[in-house]
C-alpha cells in the first residue's frame, strides 16, 4: 500500500458545485497533512494545513481529517473554473526524535476540472 493515495480522477464538476477530493494514508502515526494546488505547467502551492480531527475552513476551502479512518479530504465550495488544477495531498515524515525537517510524501494528485 502506498503511503499516500489519491484518486487520480479526473473529477469534473459544474461551476458552483461542491468538489470533494479525498486522500488516504497508511501510517497511523501521521498527525498533520497538507493540500497543495498545482496548475498545469506550474509549481505546487500550499492551500491548506490540518492536524486536528474535524474540519478546518479557509474561505471556500474546507479540509476534513478523520484519523480513525485514515483519510483527509478537501472540499471546495462554489467551485469556479479557476479551481481547475491538480490537487496534491502530502504527509510529513518524522524521525524517531519527532523532527521532520520538512520531508514530505506526496500523493499522485487528483485532477479537478470545473466546467462552466
What is the contact surface with another protein in residues (CB under 8 A)? Answer: 31-32, 34, 42-46, 49, 51, 88, 92, 94, 98-109
Provide the minimum distance between the beta carbon of 18 and another protein in the complex, in angstroms, as a whole number.
Answer: 25
Provide the minimum distance between the beta carbon of 114 and another protein in the complex, in angstroms, as a whole number.
Answer: 22
Listed in sequence order, the residues at least 6 apart from 76 whose beta carbon sits closer than 8 Å to its beta carbon are 18, 19, 21, 60, 61, 83, 112
Cα–Cα distance measured from residue 2 to residue 5, given in angstroms and rounded to the nearest whole number? 6
Provide the minimum distance between the beta carbon of 30 and another protein in the complex, in angstroms, as a whole number.
Answer: 9
Q: Which is nearer to another protein, 8 or 80 (CB)?
A: 8
Q: b/e map of 1-38 (b: 16 or more CB within 10 Å)?
A: eeebbbeeeebebeeeeebebbbbbeeeebeebbbbbb
Provide the minimum distance between the beta carbon of 48 and another protein in the complex, in angstroms, as a whole number.
Answer: 11
Q: Which is nearer to another protein, 38 or 113 (CB)?
A: 38
Q: Which is nearer to another protein, 69 or 99 (CB)?
A: 99
Amino acid at each position: 500500500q502506498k503511503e499516500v493515495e489519491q484518486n487520480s480522477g479526473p473529477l469534473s464538476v459544474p461551476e458552483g458545485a461542491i468538489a470533494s477530493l479525498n486522500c488516504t494514508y497508511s501510517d497511523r502515526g501521521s498527525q498533520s497533512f497538507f493540500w497543495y494546488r498545482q496548475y498545469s505547467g506550474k509549481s505546487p502551492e500550499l492551500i491548506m494545513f490540518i492536524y486536528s480531527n474535524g474540519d478546518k475552513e479557509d474561505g471556500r476551502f474546507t479540509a476534513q481529517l478523520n484519523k480513525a479512518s485514515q483519510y483527509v479530504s478537501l472540499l471546495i465550495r462554489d467551485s469556479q473554473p479557476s479551481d481547475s488544477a491538480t490537487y496534491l495531498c502530502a504527509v510529513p515524515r518524522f524521525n524517531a526524535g519527532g523532527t521532520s525537517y520538512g520531508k514530505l510524501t506526496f500523493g499522485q494528485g487528483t485532477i479537478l476540472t470545473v466546467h462552466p
